[in-house]
Amino acid sequence: MVNQYAGMELYQVRVFVNDPDPADDMAVKVYGMNQDYLPGALLAEKAFAPLMLDWNTITLDTPIPVTGEDLWVACYTNQTTSTTHAIGTDAGPAVYNGDWISTGPGWGHLAPGIDQNWNIQGVLQGDPIEGWLSVDPDGGTVVAGDFDDLTVTYDASDLILGTYNAKFVFITNAPENQYLELPVTLTVVDGTGIGEGEGSRIEMLVYPNPARNVVNVQSNINIDRLSIYNHIGQVVSEVLVGNTTANVNIDG
């Protein structure tokens, strides 16, 4: 959700406060990424004295770098009176990640009759880095036992020669496979003298890295033949491609 803001920093949290008991404690909290339904480690926490029926802006003691992994931005209260509603909500309708609540050890959504989202905002500063890797679609629903094709796109037009590393992170609510990382390597080399014209560049995207049972390769030029070597220099797979993309099964 925050991949487009990678390189920036989360430095403030804004919360609309309704009518808490003046004796109640309130604090903003920021958690890292974990499961689809469960936040990760606590990254920041700051108590504040609320202004009622107004937006409250809380500046974190230490800004949190945005790496592209999800952040859970939350507001805590030890609400002591059941008739008060400390944290404000919008007019709805609720979005999947807009109405999480925890009143005990776990997390869930607001009651079905409350089709709204919390009025909690994360405020960023700085400039995002130039992204070179994307996937489409970046979210959705897949029926059990079915599959969906994802399109991986890379753009090295603004990159200098060298090797770049990234990773795809997949988070699902499937109990047996809730979190999956797929490492990716992009190598940009000088294509001069390889038939691509003076000053041209060859871009090669390989994933996953390290390889598993299947290696996926994309390039900005046509791939005639693809050879896969092991760590001692032996050829473990070799295929004729004749395309700009290739999928090689290295399990034999």
pLDDT tens digits, one per residue of 243-252: 888 877 766 5
Percent of the chain residues past pLDDT 70, beyond the cut: 88
pLDDT at residue 252, rounded to an integer: 55
pLDDT at residue 194, rounded to an integer: 47
**Rounded Cα gap, residues 205 and 151, in angstroms:** 13
Instruction: Write out the two tokens for 126.
Output: 């700085």
Radius of gyration of the chain (CA): 24
Contact 44, 60 (CB under 8 A): yes
- 137 prior amide bond cis, ω within 30: yes
**CA proximity to 75, closest of 36, 112, 117, 113:** 117
Selected residue with higher pLDDT from 13 and 182: 13
**Rounded Cα gap, residues 8 and 120, in angstroms:** 19
**Rounded Cα gap, residues 193 and 91, in angstroms:** 62
Q: What is the pLDDT of residues 88-136, one digit of tens each?
A: 999 999 988 899 999 888 899 998 789 999 999 999 999 998 788 888 8
pLDDT (mean) for 237-248: 79
Q: What is the pLDDT of residues 19-41, one digit of tens each?
A: 888 878 999 999 999 888 889 99
